Amino acid sequence: MWKNTCEYYNYRVVHLDEKILFVDDDVNLLSSMQRQLRKQFDLDTAVGPEEGLTALNDNGPYAVIVSDLRMPGMDGIQLLAKVRSISPNTIRVMLTGNADLDSAMSAVNEGHIFRFIAKPIQPEMLAKILEASIEQYRLVTAEQTLLRNTLSGCVRMMTEVMSIVSPEAFSQSARLAKYVSHVARKLEIQDAWQFELAAMLSQIGCVATPQALLRKAHTGMLLTAEEQSVVRNQAAVAHRMLAHIPRLEQIADIVASQQDTWQPQDVSGSPTQQEVIKLGAQLLRASLDFDNLVNRGVSIGTAVRTLSHESSGHDPAIIAALASIENATDEQEITAIQLDNAKPGMVLAQDVIDTSGKVIGKKGQEVTNAMLERLRNEATDPQSQAQIYVLAA
């Protein structure tokens, strides 16, 4: 509405929130662009593709990158393909001469770029194309933000329910999310939030697993073939619970594949949906096997060496990244706190057990609002449950 009003009165809408990068080997053209557009757009320029990639890495992210097609060393299609890999949300625009229109249109059709601009172009038309590109960037990023926030809220709700029904499973899910997040940072994996959500939801099928059996499995006790089948089936149960929730389909597929053996992948350019699912499953399976070992008292170094064997079926890069994780719970100070003073976000330093011997909260588990309600409702013995032990902040 505001934008249309401005156009009606012949005002210019000034875009200074999203940055634009022009890449060309023609210094005079870049200077001209800067003079014509600097009052309307936050504009950077780069002389040639290598300088363009440096600007993206040092000064990005950019909402829009406009690249000339014909440049020495690396043409615009190759440059924008690299941009797509480094910064998937950046809108890519091609600047080209009439002789190269076929190449530019081919790049558009293949999804490499959003628009192409044929030289020469009037400043007014160029500004309109840049405005459309910025609007596309806003749509893409707004949808992703909405999706991330909506899914995160949904996951928080489901995991709070899991913390009440199955403290064992909830505690492990929180540890898995920590491991996945750590590996993603070490390996510089983009959009890792979806893998972290998959980790948080990976054990939700355990709500259908007998809790005594779950404790038996987590402590490393020998399971019968039938018990092993029940424990393994939780992934399929979790998939059925998640698969029909809108926008959780891909996360549900990652959860369903959490027991799949790693297979090397040759991923070039932007990964396909199936490749993303496989990567998420690899992160999840490695984290799960790592957690099972560490949770049974195995040192981090021994766990890494065990999982590094080729027969373990894990991605070596993921296991190597897990080697640098710290077991913070072994170093942090333990503090006794009155239950009435407990707050969400605190981490339990010891199991919380009610008078019947039932585990209400697991060591290492993050305290949630739902858990606090359960703790207060079920902590019937004032001598044993007047306080809980948490890790000092």
Q: What is the C-alpha separation between 126 and 43, in angstroms, rounded?
A: 13
Q: Give me the domains of the chain, ranges plus CATH numbers.
A: 2-139 (3.40.50.2300), 166-325 (1.10.3210.10), 329-393 (3.90.105)
pLDDT digits (tens, 9 = 90+) for 236-274: 999 998 888 877 888 999 999 998 887 776 555 557 788
Block residue for tokens 């440059």 = 79
**What's the whole-number mean pLDDT along residues 207-213?**
85
Q: What is the C-alpha separation between 196 and 202, in angstroms, rounded?
A: 10
Which residues make Cβ contacts (< 8 Å) with residue 330, sequence separation at least 6? none
pLDDT digits (tens, 9 = 90+) for 326-374: 754 445 677 888 777 888 878 888 877 766 677 777 777 778 777 777 7
Which residues make Cβ contacts (< 8 Å) with residue 100, sequence separation at least 6? 69, 70
pLDDT digits (tens, 9 = 90+) for 76-119: 888 988 898 888 889 999 888 755 666 666 666 665 788 888 87
- Which pLDDT score is estimated for 7? 36
Q: What is the DSSP letter of 365?
A: P
Which amino acid is present at 172? Q
Lowest mean pLDDT among 19-33, 84-98, 316-330: 316-330
- Which pLDDT score is estimated for 269? 53
Instruction: Decide if pLDDT at 293 tops 50.
Output: yes
List b or e across 181-197, with b for residues whose CB sees 16 or more CB atoms inside 10 angstroms. bbbbebeebeebebbbb
Neighbouring-strand partners of residue 19: 42
